[in-house]
Amino acid sequence: GAVVSQHPSWVICKSGTSVKIECRSLDFQATTMFWYRQFPKQSLMLMATSNEGSKATYEQGVEKDKFLINHASLTLSTLTVTSAHPEDSSFYICSAPIGYNEQFFGPGTRLTVL
């Protein structure tokens, strides 16, 4: 099956710093990728849709200036959490769709902001 990687798998940073998370489709091209955030014992909340060659589409309530998304190629999307604060600590997961019925998820990035 298709493989999606994420890097880093975990990161600890100080409040006020920016953190970049990479999401790569390893064996297929993805014109669209999705970024989710998941708090403990909760569901996956879609943050934004990353579109290759164009601006990302953000879900309601997600600050686009805080969560910068860049989809520079057909295999790479990046999420940058700018000026991170403790409340941004979460599990961030990307995914890439195959057709309309299946998404392949990356292994996730656990962000801890001190």
Partner 1 sequence: GQSLEQPSEVTAVEGAIVQINCTYQTSGFYGLSWYQQHDGGAPTFLSYNGLDGLEETGRFSSFLSRSDSYGYLLLQELQMKDSASYFCAVGLYNQGGKLIFGQGTELSVKP
Q: Are 76 and 24 in contact (CB under 8 A)?
A: yes
CA separation for the pair 47, 36 (Å, rounded): 5
Cα 50 from Cα 3, distance rounded (Å): 17
Whose Cβ is closer to partner 1: residue 14's or residue 40's? 40
Pair type for strands 76-81 and 102-105: unpaired
Position 71 contacts partner 1 (CB under 8 A):
no
Binding mask 9-48 for partner 1 (x = CB under 8 A): -----------------------x-x------xxxx-x--
Contact residues toward partner 1 (CB under 8 A) are 32, 34, 41-44, 46, 49, 51, 93, 95, 97-108
